Each structure stands twice: as C-alpha cells, then as structure tokens.
Copies of this chain bind each other. A is one copy, B any other.
C-alpha cells in the first residue's frame, strides 16, 4: 500500500501547503486569501469577528484542511493534523468549526467566496469555449487542481462535504449562466433555453475524464465540448422542459 494517500497524480503535490503561495492558484477558489478583510462577512457560524485575525485563522485552517485532504484523504484527516498545520489550538477548532466536517465545509465555502465571473467574449461559443478552456487550465495545473480534487474526494466520505460541494457548484454554475443570459439578449439563444443544462454540458465531458474515466484533457477537447454544446443549443436540445 505504497500510494494509499495519493491519487498521486492529482493531489499529492499540495503536501506541505506551507510552500504554496497563501492564495494557492486555484481557479475554483480564487478567494481573497490570507488577510482577506471581507471574509468575516460570510464567515462560518461562530466566526463573527470580521476581518483581520479571524480571516487569517480561517485561511490557515483552510490551508491545513487542504493539505491534510491531499495527504491523507478525508478519512485520514484529523483535528490534530489541522491544529498542527494551522497553528490554531484544538479547542478553538472545535469551538468555531464544531469538528472536521465543519472545517472541510468551511474550506469549500471559502473557495466560493471569490470574485470569479464567467468569460464575456461577445459570443456564446466564444464564452463557452473560454469557460471550457479555463476548466482545462485549472485541472491540468497540479497545484490548481489540488483543492477541488480534495473536495470532490471528500464528498464521497462526508455527507456534509457533499452538501457543501453541491452548494459550491450550484453557485459556480449560476455565475456561468450569465453567459447564456447574454446570448439570449443578443438573440444567439432562444429565451426558453435551460441555461443550467447548457453550462453543465460544456464542462461535463472534461470533468468526466478528469475524475471518473481518468483520461487526459486538453484545449482541443475543451473546444470540441463547447462546439458540441452550442450546436445542441442551436438545435433546441436544451429547451426548457
């Protein structure tokens, strides 16, 4: 059992988050990072004090959680590990986050607290192609892929992580729907199109390959995926049921 902890190709490299830039490179979690003074406003229950130290503590815990998930997977993650790697006392961890599941869920919440917006290139196909390419860039970058990979894996073991992941993607995809709304305004798409289905169709073939069939993805595949989704949209396949 040499590679128990890994998905070596995927998440092993985060080990030692210390060496990462505090903000990581996660496309899916472009949060303000350490010292983000706004973090308090959307903090987890129990972390009411806004800004400064609380935000830094929260980010340190998030980094420790990510590092632990990458090293040991969710079932091997312990409060001791998070305490050791974040420098935050166990008592504080339990008081603020309730336990490990709360820490993982909060780390995912933080990933959603960013200012990412969907591409705006002026055309539906351009936007979707750019979106698909961003997915490829994120998940072929080992550092950027580590956090989302760890969260997706954790969701298999923790129902609370699964719910947080669901919420993260629901919010993320709702931002992507701006692309479809603009296409409808431009007359590129019918008003009765189902934007949720369309934006998921673009990214699904990429994420399938990364996390399920374990196949490589590249820009050509991103472009194919975007072209397929646009063609299907034009043919009315995503008309709202």
Known A156-B73, A166-B213: A228·B238 in contact at CB below 8 Å: yes
Q: Which of B5, B158, B170 contacts A213 (CB 8 A)?
A: B170
The number of times this chain is found in the oligomer is: 2
Assess the A158–B75 pair: CB atoms within 8 A.
Answer: no
- The smallest beta-carbon distance between A13 and chain B, in angstroms, is 13
Given known pairs A162-B214, A165-B214, A212-B152, the reply for A157 and B235 (CB within 8 Å) is no
**Chain B residues near A72 (CB, 8 Å)?**
75
Contact residues of A between 82 and 109, Cβ < 8 Å to B? 99-101
With A72-B75, A224-B241 given, is the CB distance from A207 to B212 under 8 Å?
yes
Tell whether A44 is near chain B: CB-to-CB under 8 Å: no
Beta-carbon contact of B5 and A75 below 8 Å: yes
A149 CB, min distance to chain B CBs, angstroms:
7
Interface size on A, residues (CB 8 A): 65
A to B CB contacts below 8 Å, 13 in the list: A1-B101, A3-B160, A7-B157, A9-B162, A73-B73, A75-B75, A165-B212, A200-B213, A203-B208, A228-B228, A229-B232, A231-B231, A231-B237
Residues of A at the B interface (CB closer than 8 Å) are 1, 3-11, 72-76, 99-101, 149, 152-153, 155-160, 162-163, 165-166, 169-170, 173, 194, 197, 200-201, 203-205, 207-209, 211-215, 220-221, 224-225, 227-232, 234-238, 241
15 more CB-based (< 8 A) A-B contacts, given A169-B215, A231-B232, A231-B234: A3-B160, A4-B158, A6-B159, A72-B75, A166-B215, A169-B213, A197-B224, A204-B204, A207-B212, A211-B211, A224-B241, A227-B237, A228-B232, A231-B231, A231-B237
